[in-house]
Amino acid sequence: MDLSSIPSVDRLLQSSSICELVNYYGHTAVRNEIRKILDEERTELKLGNQDSPHNENWFVEQCKCRLECDNKTPIRPVFNLTGTVLHTNLGRASLPAESINTINSILSHPCNLEYDIESGLRGDRDSHLENLLCELTGAEAATVVNNNAAAVLLVLNALAKEKEVIVSRGELIEIGGSFRIPDIMLQAGCKLCEVGTTNRTHVKDYKNNINDNTAMLLKVHTSNYKIEGFSSTVNEKELAQIGKEYNIPVVSDLGSGSLVELTQWGLPKEPTIQEIVKDGVDVITFSGDKLLGGPQAGIIVGKKELISKIKKDPLKRALRLDKIIIAALFSVLNLYRHPEKLTEELPTLRSLTRSLQEIEVLANRIKPVLEKVIDNKANIEVINCKSQIGSGALPVELLPSFCITISNIDKEKHAGSFLNSIVSAFTKLPIPVIGRIKDNAYCLDVRCLEDEETFLKQLKFLNV
């Protein structure tokens, strides 16, 4: 095999069409890419997989193509047609248009993040959100951190370090991505005191385990499972009573929680933050990007004295929110001042409350376009399906929806490789489409499809 006819790195770098690439991507990136392609070429020739070397043009094209690919922003938009509205791996809540405008102005200017404009003195970054959070939840005080896991860690560390925290055995949860209550306790420097049993915990279980070293009664929302049958738990109101009786703070990690009553739209019941505040719980933590529909954040509301202790904990500084998130969270919370507009303006609630009829009509509009593109290489149907809220909220409750299914014409034959090729074709689109596989079919639940025009336009690139 004659390897000498392969062009050299230098010769390729001097070719006029490479010049353009060097201008755009820089000399180092282009040279490294060329070296890689030439190495691969030599290997292929030596292995006999290829008879003769490619010409110079081919190398230039390869180089251009690969650099274009590598240079795509690694984090980019996708279409979430999985049927899970708050999909953690797909970034959970999408922000409303209003937040985007606020973020834009904060990003491109200095701002009064920690500056009191009136007095000219140093301000508090939490102050931008605290009043509104108190107004909406009915709590006395509030603070915010990077996410709800951080909120739980901070609250434990600030209020119960080197002390005991009582938790029911039915609530020792693990949330995806390695958030486990016993581990968080350890990290926060607290001693976990488990009480009750997996299925039943009573008031006396808490009371009998309180001692001089008890610093907190913690209730954890069992976000991703439900204990049914012969079971009982001590609710927030009862727990708050015990806390008062023994003068021990009661904390509730609500996980998602909601600021509005979801049942008004026929959605499953989820505790509202306001209810838990009213129950007398001292501190409540919840996520910004679950049912609230905002950016990633951990929100802590509760009694003034305790929140002030939490704010002073050294961990708070390490877990504090960025100005962009503060601005975005404010604009989302502000929408809750007009609850009647939420299902229109807040993407999460818009998707969750979308009417079944609207979803069906949408699926039926897309079906013929897909049929045209896929020709007759697959079966395409619109069928009933169930969407999930996701992110641990209301795990067992499903929402009726419609999806478009794509399945092999010959149902028995090569289902695996057929489905793989369909998945790959959809993920290779300019804005990747993420569906799910169920019953040997590729399913696209259109509940969360909002930009129909872009979705349809890019189908011409679908390569099945």
Ligand X SMILES: *Cc1c(COP(=O)(O)O)cnc(C)c1O
Residue ranges binding ligand X (CB under 6 A)? 147-149, 152, 175, 179, 220-221, 223, 253, 255-256, 287, 298, 392
Cβ at position 445, least distance to ligand X in Å? 22
Q: Between 256 and 387, whose beta carbon lies closer to ligand X?
A: 256
Among 391, 314, 326, smallest CA distance to 352 is for 391
Which residue has the closest beta carbon to ligand X?
255
- The answer to whether residues 430 and 387 touch, using CB atoms and an 8 Å cutoff, is no
Q: Between 221 and 311, whose beta carbon lies closer to ligand X?
A: 221
Q: Which long-range contacts (CB under 8 A, 24 or more apart) does 417-423 make?
A: 418/378, 421/464, 422/378, 422/464
Cβ at position 67, least distance to ligand X in Å? 36
Q: Between 178 and 247, whose beta carbon lies closer to ligand X?
A: 178
User: Please, is 9 exposed, middle or buried when counting C-beta atoms within 10 Å of its C-beta (0-12, 13-18, 19+)?
Assistant: middle
Cβ at position 92, least distance to ligand X in Å? 8
Q: How far apart are alpha carbons 445 and 413 in whole angstroms?
A: 25
Cβ at position 126, least distance to ligand X in Å? 18
Q: Between 83 and 392, whose beta carbon lies closer to ligand X?
A: 392
Q: Between 276 and 425, whose beta carbon lies closer to ligand X?
A: 276
- The answer to whether residues 96 and 347 touch, using CB atoms and an 8 Å cutoff, is yes
Q: How far apart are alpha carbons 286 and 144 in whole angstroms?
A: 10
Cβ at position 255, least distance to ligand X in Å? 2
Q: What are phi and psi of 287, to 5 degrees?
A: -85, 150
What does each C-alpha distance from 328 to 75, 98, 120, 459 come to in angstroms? Answer: 19, 9, 24, 33
Q: Between 128 and 290, whose beta carbon lies closer to ligand X?
A: 290
Q: Between 149 and 363, whose beta carbon lies closer to ligand X?
A: 149
Cβ at position 180, least distance to ligand X in Å? 10
Q: Between 151 and 359, whose beta carbon lies closer to ligand X?
A: 151
Letter string b/e over residues 61-86, b meaning 16 or more CB atoms within 10 A of that residue's CB: ebbbeebeeeeeeeeeebbbbbbbbb
Which token pair is 64? 């251009």
Q: How far is residue 270 CA from its own chain's centroid?
A: 19
Q: How far apart are alpha carbons 144 and 130 in whole angstroms?
A: 9
Cβ at position 175, least distance to ligand X in Å? 5
Cβ at position 341, least distance to ligand X in Å? 25
